[in-house]
Every structure is written in structure tokens, then in C-alpha cells.
Structure 1
Amino acid sequence: MDYKNSNNLGFFGKLTEIRKWILVLIVAFLLFSIFNYFTKSKESSTIEYDTNLIQQQIKNVGKLVVTEGHFAEVLTYKDKKKTYIPGLTFDKKALVVINADVTVSFDLSQVKYDIDAENKILTITNIPKEEIKISPDIKYYDTESSTFNEFTGDDYNKINKSVKANLAKKIDKSTLKSNAKNRLLSELSKMLVLTNSMGWTLKYQGNVIEKEKDFELKL
């Protein structure tokens, strides 16, 4: 056998082997790149889908939660105007009947939140305070006054102010606020159900919310 030809065959054999390895490396690199591309694209698509879904669900929750109540009371308004003559006064009085419709509402469209899509964390940053609206229907009976002490606009303003103050006390002692709060918690729990079902974490005031009652300590 020709020694020179043998060397040439060995050289070309090694060259062919190197080409095979280079080809294998190129194919492996291409396969890795393709796999990595589709994997990242899918992950990004999933995060975007989750984020959009959570935002849409929060919009659905973000409605006006209203709890209504009715209160009634009767009061007697009296006013005396003294004179320089001892024992002589000019009096006026009225029997006042009040029927009031009261609403306690939470505007959940004002809930503020932050979405950490990468770590799958939904953080509620602000829950609006309740709004209390009192609509009293005031009627006057047995109104008595004198020429020197007649009913004026100031009297009606005093009565109106007193009525609202008394109603506010009644509202505080009633279950109206607690009922409104329970309705608020019921709506907020929908966010909790949503995040749990999607494998996200719900936070409020730096704490993880795991159940509905976790909101109660922080409202």
C-alpha cells in the first residue's frame, strides 16, 4: 500500500469526522434555539393572558356596592326668646317627624391595585372608604310661634342639622354598616377566588390574603 495515499485517506477521514461533529453541533444549536424560542414565546403569552384575564375580572368586580336602610324618628323642637321682663318669653315649637332613606356604598371601580405578572402577585393598594348618603323626609306638625319669635330659615337649618346628627348615631348603632361591609368582602373575595384558581397570590397592606376574613382586620 502506498504510504502517501494512506496518509491522505487518514487526513480526509479525520476531516469528515470533524465535519460530522460540526454538523451535529449546528443541528443541536438550531434545535435548542427553536425550543428556547417557542418556550419563551409560550411563557410570555401565558403571562399576558393571565394579566389580561385578571384585569378583565377586576373590572367586572369593580361596581357600586350599595346597602340601603330606612330610619324614622320623632323629635320636638323648642326655642325661647327671652325678654327684659322676668318670666316673659316668646316661644316657638314644632313636632318634627322624620323618615329617612340611608345608603352605604362602596365604589369598587376606585379600588387600586398593582399586578406583578412575573411573580404572579396581585396587590390591592387601596380600598375606598364607604360613602354614606342620608335622604331625610322632614315634616312639621303642631307648629307654634309668636309674632316676636317666628320660624325662620335658621330654625329649619338647625332642625335639619340635628336630624342628620341623630340619624348618624342611629346608623352607627345599627347593622347597616356591618351589612355593607359584608357585601364589600363578598365582592373582594371574588378577586381571591380568581387569583387562587390561576395560581396567583393576592396581597393587601403587605399581607397575603388567603381567606375572606383576612380582609376584615385591615379595612
Structure 2
Amino acid sequence: MGFFTTLSELRKWLVLILLGLVLFFGYKYFTTPSRETTLENDTNLIQQQIKNVGKLVVTEGHFAEVLTYKDRKKTYIPGVTFDKKALVVINADVTVGFDLSKVTYDIDAERKIVTITNIPKEEIKISPDIKYYNTESSTFNAFTGDDYNKIAKSAKESLAKKIENSTLKTNAQNRLLSELTKMLVVTNSMGWTLQYKGNVIQKETDLKL
């Protein structure tokens, strides 16, 4: 009788152990997210993080320019002309910006790769304040709207050259790279890879505009 009692107890324990294993693996099966679900969640999170990065990055500067505008109207009489001139002082607020909402990218969830497909060009806005001093003209060659348009155009062209030779665009690009690096941090922290122009981006200096 003792042998059969022991065997009966052993069966009970085996049944309990098997039941426990079935419940455990059943729980794991129904609660553990599938690889497909994980990829989908990762993709959604990365898209949200990139969207959070998307904003207008702006660098501001101030430039001043002094121009002398001259115009001469000749007559049929040799040596007789009608002249007009003005001293023009331009103070301009300039912004150089990148709209990161225009950055486009592709997400390869299977390979865990985010590829930046386009980075927008900088947007330069010049807001000049133009003042005229020592204005001289004659009745037969007075200042017109066309003169003021020429002065404004010349002022913007001159300012554009100054901006090109300044550090304003470089500073704006550095700020842009700093913002794009946040995408690198997000992807790396989740085990994804960031690419641009066919190159894997591992650090900020790898991002070349």
C-alpha cells in the first residue's frame, strides 16, 4: 500500500507541475508582444520623435550698409546734365532658417534603418530699413519709384554678399546639425541605424549638408 500511495502522490505532483508549465507558457505566449508588434511600436515611436524634432531653426543677425546712389540724365546740350544723388543708409535684420518639418525620410522597419532623403535649403529673409540722406535732384530728373526700387535691389544684393561672407549661414547650419543629431540619438538608443546620402551616420560630424 505504501508504494501505491507514493506513486499516487508522485502523479499528483507531476500533474501540478505540468499544469503550472502550461499556465506559464500560455501566459508568456499571450502577453509577450510579437516581433511584428515590436517593430510597429518602434516605428511609431521613431516617427513621433522625429516629428517632435521638426521645427524652425533660425539664426539672426544684423547688418549695416552705406551706399551712394547717383543718376545722371544727359541733354542734347554738351556738358549740360541733370543729376540726382542720395546717401543711403541701410540697417537690416537678417534671419537664416531651416524648416525641419520639410525634412523627409524613409523608415525600413524590417532592417531597422531610418534614411534621411531630403534636408531643405536654408531660407534667408532680409528686412531692410532704408533711410535717405543728402538727397539732391533737379526738376528734370527727380526721384521716382523706379529709383527707390533700384536702391532697394542694390541694397539687398550688397547685403546678400555680406551674409555669404559672414558666419551667419555657418551658425545656422551648425544649429541644424545639432537638431538633426537628436534623430541620431533616438535611433541609436532604440538599436536603429540612421543613414544619409548612402552613408551610415554614427556621429554628428558624419552629417554633411
TM-score range, shorter chain: 0.7 to 0.9
Task: State the distance in 1 between where 2:190 and 2:154 align.
Answer: 52
Equivalent residue number for residue 58 of structure 2: 66
Alpha-carbon offset, residue 43 of structure 1: 1.6
Q: What do the CA deviations read for 1:110-166 (whole angstroms, capped 9, x no partner)?
A: 110111111110011111110000000000111110011000011001000000000
Report 1:171-182 matches (<5 A).
171-182=163-174
Which structure shows the bigger proportion of residues in helix conformation?
Answer: 1
Equivalent residue number for residue 101 of structure 1: 93
Task: State the distance in 2 between where 1:52 and 1:150 align.
Answer: 65
SS of 1:146's equivalent in the other structure is coil
The question of 1:129 aligning with 2:121 is answered: yes
The question of 1:52 aligning with 2:44 is answered: yes
Aligned mate of 1:208, from 163, 177, 200: 200
Report 1:2-13 matches (<5 A).
none
Equivalent residue number for residue 4 of structure 2: none
**Structure 1 unpaired stretches of 5+:** 1-29
**Structure 2 unpaired stretches of 5+:** 1-21
Letter in 2 for 1:50: D
Equivalent residue number for residue 162 of structure 1: 154
Task: State the distance in 2 between where 1:50 and 1:87 align.
Answer: 81
Alpha-carbon offset, residue 42 of structure 1: 2.7
Task: State the distance in 1 between where 2:207 and 2:26 align.
Answer: 46
Task: State the distance in 2 between where 1:69 and 1:38 align.
Answer: 59
Letter in 2 for 1:120: K
Letter in 2 for 1:142: N
Report which of the two structures shows the higher radius of gyration computed on alpha carbons: 1
Equivalent residue pairs, number: 187
Identity, in percent, stands at 80
